Amino acid sequence: MNTSDKIINDIDDRKENLDPSAEDTVNKFSGMFCPYFIKNYGTQFDHDSGRWNYKTKNVCYVLVKSFLKGEYWLGVPSTWYIPFGYIDIDDPVSTPPDHILDILNLKDSEYYKMSSPGYLKEGRIHIIYKPQYKSKIMNRNLYQDMIGPLIKSTGAQPFPWKNRLFRVPAGRNQHILDNNGIPLNHSTEEFMYFIDKLDYYETSEKITYQTSFLYDLIDNKTDPFASHTSTIEDSRTLEKHGLNSFHTRHDSCLTLAIFYYRNDLPPDKAIRRIKSIIRKKHNGYSEQINKGKWWFVDKEIEEIVYWVYDNFTGFYYPDSIHNFKTGLITPDYIKHAVEVFRGDWINIKRTIALFQYCHMRSFFPWIYIPFRAWNKIASCDNYIEYQNTLTKKGIITNIRNDYSVGRYSKSYKIALPKSFSNPITNDNRAVTDLDKLLLTTYGSQRDVVNALQLNRQLAWRLFKRS
């Protein structure tokens, strides 16, 4: 028996014979980690089965006291406010804890490593910390939107997460680890004392998105057109209802032009869309339209759109490079997609879209791809079949079950091609038009058709579409 094994057995023997002392100790622990108002908890003793024995009643004093004595493990669902966050690392070899700590930028004073019930056999550990946002406790949605995807992309599991139960800390085989990985012999009171001394992990200062470093590419951080900034709600209202009063056509066209610029539409498409909206939904609120001067209105729309695209390009705008997150790709990626699915136009398009999403996440060991991203790549009716095709082709090499609601796997290891070429960009934004990507990669329409082995109809649709 090694030293760690002996220490854990000594601690657990002590817990089984130890009354967690005064009632206020149990109540204090419950208030921190498993409040009595929580319903639908689970108990589990057999770790190998991995199944919780669900109970539909509230957590109570006797339950928490028995848990602290090591009689079983206790799992509780997430509360609305999250005072503590947990990182579950089941495979520390492929998911090194130090790598996760580095990505999250956690300081030594902001976390503890703790042994998991599988610590001795497989080295499984938990990391406990206290996240907050702008000096306030985070709510469940903010925690899961901000921190969850980042942790999941490393191969670890964040808790609390969705409706899953997470194991309450300080139970059987759950102890704070020292710098050498030895479990520390802490009583319940000592454990709560050390947890209380943790510094808060301020996410508003530390958490950055996987592609946030791209903002450093733009030198000019000032926006000279801030006075023209329009909200998404204003633009969508104009799209749906059109003009609502006289003398608003010019400003409405400007609002829509900025909105389409921010959504990566090319200027010619933005012009067509604005003209269509004005024609269908001017509602009689334009003196020039009422006079029949459509040539004047069309010319002004073109001038507005080209002015926006000429003047805004190259300046820092709040979301002017947002499509780098899902749109950046290199010619090498496109050639690889064509090589794998040559002649299969549908899957070529899908694979290029997949590589666009994965390129900026390629430095993570696992790539987190949610359902909404798959739905854009291959639609909800076809993406499972497409995933199976990718697996057969060797592009998807591993799929991790995230136990998420809906039973959809969302983390993948993808064999991305090695690329030594620069990404295809245009004015500090990723190019998203497929025809432009292919033309940039192959040089001419004839070369594109020959490389992809497109038939005449597909070639016409690709390069001659309106």
> How many other β-carbons are positioned within 10 Å of the β-carbon of residue 427?
12
Q: What percent of the chain has pLDDT over 90?
A: 33
Taking phi over 0 as left and psi of -120 to 50 as alpha, with beta for the rest, 181 belongs to left
Tell me if 386 sits within 8 A of 347, measured CB to CB: yes
Per-residue confidence (pLDDT) for residue 14, from 0 to 100? 44
State pLDDT tens for residues 423-457: 888 766 788 888 889 999 999 988 998 999 888 88
* pLDDT tens string 256-303: 988 887 776 778 889 999 999 999 999 999 888 998 889 989 988 988
What pLDDT sits at residue 162?
A: 81
State which amino acid sits at residue 67: F
Tell me, what amino acid is at 78?
Answer: S
Q: Do 171 and 73 form a contact (C-beta atoms < 8 A)?
A: yes
89 with 153: CB under 8 angstroms? no
pLDDT for 65: 92
Among 143, 133, 85, residue whose Cα is nearest residue 110 = 85
User: What rounded mean pLDDT belongs to the chain?
Assistant: 81
Whether pTM > 0.75 for this model: the answer is no
The span from the first CA to the last CA of the chain, in angstroms, equals: 75
Is residue 151 within a helix (H) or strand (E), and if so which, with residue range? Answer: helix 148-152
CB 190 within 8 A of CB 15: no
The predicted-structure confidence for 50-91, as pLDDT tens digits, reads as follows 688 889 899 999 999 999 988 889 999 998 889 999 999 988
Q: Please, what are the domains in the chain?
A: 3-205 (3.90.920), 226-312 (no CATH), 324-463 (no CATH)
